[in-house]
Each structure stands twice: as C-alpha cells, then as structure tokens.
Amino acid sequence: MTAEVISELLREHINRLIASGKRADGRGFDDPRPLTVQKNYIKNAEGSARVQLGNTDVLVGVKIDVGEPYPDTPNQGVLSTSVELVPLASPNFEAGPPSPTAIEIARVVDRGIRESKTVNTQKLCITPKEKVWIMFIDIHALDYDGNLFDAASYGALAALSCAKVPASKIGKEDYPLPLEHWPISVTAAKIGGRIVVDPNLDEERIADARITVTTDENGDIRAMQKGLKGSFSLDEVRAAIRTSQKVGKGLRGIIQRA
C-alpha cells in the first residue's frame, strides 16, 4: 500500500469531534456500523458470504477440497485463510503479491477461527494420514472503507456457517460443515486517547493504535492483535475486551440469523 494522505483539516475535524465524544458519522464510540450478511452468494463455492460493514464490502468464498493432512494432525481437516486486497477496492491497493497488511488480516482472521475451534476438523478426516478435507477461506475485498479485519472475519464466519462438505465427490453424501463455535472479532481504534469501535477509513487513517479482540459465545478470548504504531495501557486493553464481548453478542446474532 502506498502512503496514505489525509488532509490536516479532516484530521483535526475528526479529532475534535472525538474529543467531544462524537463521531463524524454520528455513531457512539461503541457502535459498529450496520452489518449486512448475504450467505450463499457464489454458487460455485462450497460456502460463501458477501458482507457489508457500513461501506466496507467483502466477499468471502470457502472452497473445500480433498488433500493431505499435516503430519502432526493426521486425522484433522486443514484450514487455510488468505486475503486479497485487489486494486478495485481502493486507490491505495496495488496488484501483486500479498502486502504485509493483507497477510496480517488473513492471519488474524485465521487465528480467530482456528483457536476457537469454529470448525470441528476431526469430522473432516477421510482416511487418517492420507486424505482429509481442506478448507480454503478466500477473502476478497471489494470496497474498502475501513476495518477490513472485522468485515473479513464476519465474512469468513458467515461463509463457513453455510458451507457444505462436497462428499458426493468421493461417493458419499454432502454434509454441512461441522460448525461448533461463533468467534466474533471486534476491532477498535485509539484516536487522540479515546477508543472507538469499528473505525471507518477516515478514522483508521488517523488512528494511533488498533486492537482486535476475538471472543466466543461464552465471552472467552480466542485471539488478539494490537496494531499500528501507538500503544495501549493495560486498562485500555481490558476495556477493549469488555467492549468486544458486549458488541460481539449483537453481531454474532446477525451472522447466525442471516
């Protein structure tokens, strides 16, 4: 990504608003943007979802194929997550190999899904040590207006939740992907010492630090990632965890019902 430029006027405007407890788009500090989820968007994918988080638009496809297990987990399916920040989605995205940003998003989304054991990978074994189902989660950014971490993670969960294992390929019956948990990531940005949930692009550009906390349906923490050049105090991290637990509940419901 090339260096992003934001006008000093806009920076001051957002900072001033936030200092007075407001946000440019009228949201409260703990309010995410509206989330819409359309499942089964792509019929050639085993699972898919198009997710809009405000004006951030992400399409996620899950392809499931037969492959070899890892030697240390011979009877478990495999999960692989990648993110493509295609130039169509933003003037600042460039074609080419994945940028560190794309890699970071993919790894944080992957961590949330993997560590919460969202998919029961034991039920994805065909022949131990030889054949298992491999899930490829491919996240395609379509329109980038901030907070791809969460949009990508909601899209991935939604796509997994409607995915079918194509067992008919090996002479059995297709079955739904065994989904057992619903991890929800909530990302917050620190701007001028205040912390706002689900930063839009303008907010993200002026943010000092970013924190993503992924919690499960019990409110337990499954993954975390601090980003950007600023820092958080321990109390701020604790607050971010509480916010993630609270905000995550509502968002989980939207994804489950979609």
Partner 1 sequence: MEDIEHIPKELKLIDEKGIRLDGRRFNELRPIKIEAGVLKKADGSAYMEWGNNKVLAAVYGPREAHPRHLQNPAKALVQCRYNMAPFSVTDRKRPGPDRRSVEISKVISEAFASVVFVEQFPRTSVDIYIEVLQADAGTRCAGLTAASVALADAGIPMRDLVASCASGKIGGVVALDLNKDEDNFGEADCPMAIVPRSGEIVLLQMDGHLTADEFDQAMDLSINAAKQIYELQRDALRRRYASVAEAAEQEAMREPAPSEAPREMPPDLPPEVDDL
Q: How far is the CB of 9 from partner 1 (least distance, A)?
A: 18
Cα separation of 210 and 133, whole Å?
Answer: 35
Q: Which residues contact 35 (CB under 8 A, 6 or more apart)?
A: 51, 52, 53, 154, 251, 254, 255
CB nearer partner 1, residue 173 or residue 235: 235
Can you read off the two tokens belonging to residue 196? 């706002």
Q: Which residues contact 83 (CB under 8 A, 6 or more apart)?
A: 98, 102, 103, 105, 106, 109, 139, 141, 148, 152
Q: How far is the CB of 227 from partner 1 (least distance, A)?
A: 6
CB nearer partner 1, residue 84 or residue 104: 104
Cα separation of 47 and 90, whole Å?
Answer: 26
CB nearer partner 1, residue 35 or residue 85: 85
Q: How far is the CB of 172 from partner 1 (least distance, A)?
A: 28
Work out the angle at residue 52's Cα, subtended by the Cα atoms of residues 151 and 95, and round it to the nearest 5 degrees.
65
CB nearer partner 1, residue 39 or residue 107: 107
Spatial CA neighbour of 198 closest among 183, 187, 208: 187
Residues that bind partner 1 (CB under 8 A): 2-3, 70-72, 98, 100-101, 103-104, 106-107, 111, 114-116, 211, 219-234, 237-238, 241-242, 245
CB nearer partner 1, residue 41 or residue 232: 232
Q: How far is the CB of 134 from partner 1 (least distance, A)?
A: 15
Q: How far is the CB of 135 from partner 1 (least distance, A)?
A: 17
